[in-house]
């Protein structure tokens, strides 16, 4: 498989507190990678470091040629990070207007397509972020992340705050995009449902490193933290279902 992002010997340190210590992670083209770990294990820091929002203490992160430009990334932040002074329509069109030579009509039409993709009605387009519910903010944020048809999609807790139906639709949408676009998806998640149903591989942050593997490999790993993470009632119920 083709490697898209290679993280090598990453060290992140805040003051004397070391978050990642020589972390290695390879992300392949076309996979859906779920990053999991307990609270404070450095999931978000890892994601921010990949996105260049956090300068690592040492180590390298290499992107393959096709995913090097930021226009090839779609990023969905945990709380949406919608521009609060722009309407939903302008939020989604922002990347289209800034980075492409499309006409305003085409931008508008493509914006409506993105809204349909995330399952929102077109009447939402005229609203402002402050008028949206939490779930709608997530969907609009995803629509904006998808605006430029990214090569790699970074999602920070995409399904938190969504109702179960929306969360499942969200998982299906990721599946569809993944199938048709061979889209690479990197998601930080706590949602065991989407972890089990959408993710090809799981990267678990343990002891300042990652342990990567398919769901079965991770479940078979005897590390006590991994066992603790997947031995809760919710995880076992899901595993029985599968």
Partner 1 sequence: MIELRQTSRDGELHLHLHGEWTFAQVVAIKAALQQVQPSAGTSLVVDAQAVARLDVTATWFVYQQVQRWMQQGYTVRFDHFPAEYLGYFAATAASDSSPSPDKGRLGGVSFSHSLTTLRSFITFFGHSLAALFTSLFSPHLFRFRAVFHHVFTTGISAVPIVALIACLISIVITYQGGGQLRDLGAEIYTVDMVTISVLRELGVLLTAIMVAGRSGSAFAAEIGLMKTNQEVDALQVMGKDPFLILVVPRLVALVIALPLLTVLADIVALAAAALISSTILDISFVQFFSRVAANIEFRTFAAGLIKSPFFAVVIALIGCWQGMRVTGSSASLGEHTTKAVVDAIFVVLLLDALFSVLFYRLGF
For partner 1, which residue of 55, 121, 216, 233 counts as binding (CB under 8 A)? Answer: 121
- Could you say whether residue 85 binds partner 1 (CB under 8 A)? yes
In angstroms, what is the minimal distance from the CB of 168 to partner 1? Answer: 15
Site for partner 1 contains 68 (CB under 8 A): no
Kindly provide the residue ranges of all beta strands, DSSP E only, lying in 41-82, ordered along the sequence.
58-63, 73-76
CA dist list (Å): 127 to 18, 84, 104, 147, 195 = 43, 11, 19, 18, 32
Nearest residue (CB) to partner 1, 101 versus 165: 101
Any contact of residue 76 with partner 1 (CB under 8 A)? no
Per CB under 8 A, the list member of 58, 60, 62, 84 interacting with partner 1 is 84
Q: Cα–Cα distance between 48 and 54 in angstroms, integer?
A: 6
Contact mark string toward partner 1, 172..211, x via CB under 8 A: ----x--xxxx-----------------------------
Site for partner 1 in 6-65 (CB under 8 A): none
Q: 137-172: b or e for each residue (b if 16 or more CB lie within 10 Å)?
A: bbbbbbbbbbbbebbbbbbbbbbebbeeebbebbbe
- Rounded distance, CA 213 to CA 58, Å? 25
Q: Segment near partner 1 (CB under 8 A), from 11-19, 38-46, 141-149, 191-199?
A: 141-149
DSSP assigned state of 65: G
Asked if residues 162 and 170 have their Cβ atoms less than 8 Å apart, the reply is: yes
Place of tokens 């956090």: 54
CA distance 33 to 12: 21
Mutual orientation of helices 134-145 and 104-117 as an angle, nearest 10°?
130
* Six token digits for residue 163: 């109702």
Q: Does 116 bind partner 1 (CB under 8 A)?
A: yes
Binds partner 1 (CB under 8 A): choice among 113, 220, 228, 237: 113
Of 96-104, 161-169, 184-192, 227-235: span binding partner 1 (CB under 8 A)? 96-104
Cβ proximity to partner 1: between 42 and 150 the closer is: 150
110 touching partner 1, by CB under 8 A: yes
The footprint of partner 1 (CB under 8 A) covers: 84-85, 100-102, 109-110, 112-117, 121-122, 126, 128-131, 146, 148-149, 176, 179-182
């Amino acid at each position: 498989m083709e490697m898209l992002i290679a993280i090598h010997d990453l060290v992140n340190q805040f003051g004397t507190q070391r978050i990642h210590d020589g972390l290695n992670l390879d992300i392949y083209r076309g996979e859906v990678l779920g990053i999991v770990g307990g609270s404070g294990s450095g999931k978000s820091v890892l994601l921010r470091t990949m996105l260049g929002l956090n300068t690592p203490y040492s180590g390298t992160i290499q992107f393959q040629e096709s995913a090097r430009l930021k226009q090839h990334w779609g990023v969905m932040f945990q709380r949406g990070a919608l521009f609060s002074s722009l309407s939903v329509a302008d939020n989604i069109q922002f990347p289209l207007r800034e980075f492409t030579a499309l006409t305003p009509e085409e931008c508008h039409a493509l914006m409506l397509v993105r809204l349909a993709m995330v399952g929102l009605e077109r009447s939402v387009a005229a609203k402002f972020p402050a008028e949206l519910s939490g779930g709608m903010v997530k969907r609009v944020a995803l629509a904006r992340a998808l605006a430029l048809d990214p090569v790699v999609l970074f999602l920070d807790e995409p399904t938190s705050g969504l109702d179960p139906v929306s969360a499942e639709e969200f998982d299906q949408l990721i599946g569809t995009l993944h199938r048709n676009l061979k889209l690479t998806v990197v998601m930080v998640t706590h949602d065991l449902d989407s972890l089990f149903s959408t993710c090809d591989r799981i990267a678990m942050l343990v002891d300042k490193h990652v342990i990567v593997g398919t769901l079965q490999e991770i479940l078979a790993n005897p590390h006590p933290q991994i066992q603790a993470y997947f031995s809760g009632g919710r995880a076992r119920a899901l595993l029985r279902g599968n």
